[in-house]
Amino acid sequence: MAFTEQEKLTIEIIDKQLDAYNNRDIEAFAATYHDDVEIHAFPGGLQYQGKDELIKRYGAKFSSLVYLNATSLNRIVNGSYLIDKERACSASETPENIETDVVVIASYQVEDGLIKRVCFMRD
C-alpha cells in the first residue's frame, strides 16, 4: 500500500521529532512542533500547551539525561494522524545503565507540517 503525500509528510515530521529526541537536541525537537502544541495524557486530558512549555519541560529532561532513545515498535498512519507504539529508554549516568524503560502509545496530529497535538497512553 502506497502512502499519500500527506502521510509521507506526517511520517517525516514524526521521524524528525524522534531523531531530535534521541539526540537530546531541544532546538531540532521544538522545531517539529506547532507554536500552540497541545500535550495530552489519556485519560487525564490536556497536560500543557504551547511550544514554550514544551521547551521548558523537554529541555530540562534533555539536559539532565546522558541517554535517551525512543523507537517506534508499531505504526499506523492515516493522513495527518500517526499512532506509534513506542519504547523509550533513558539514563542519567551512563548509556549502559538504563534507569527507565517504558512502552507508550503516542497519538500525533500534524497540522501545517508540524505536530499540533500529542496524546500519550500508558499503563
For the chain, the structural domain boundaries read 5-121
Q: How much is the pTM?
A: 0.94
- pLDDT at position 118 is 98
What are the tens digits of pLDDT across the range 60-98? 999 999 999 999 999 999 999 999 999 999 999 998 899
pLDDT bracket for residue 33 (50, 70, 90): very high
Q: What is the CATH number of domain 5-121?
A: 3.10.450.50
| 4-10 CB contacts, 8 Å cutoff, 24+ apart | 4/79, 6/79, 6/80, 7/77, 7/78, 7/79, 9/110, 9/113, 10/77, 10/79, 10/80, 10/81, 10/82, 10/108, 10/110
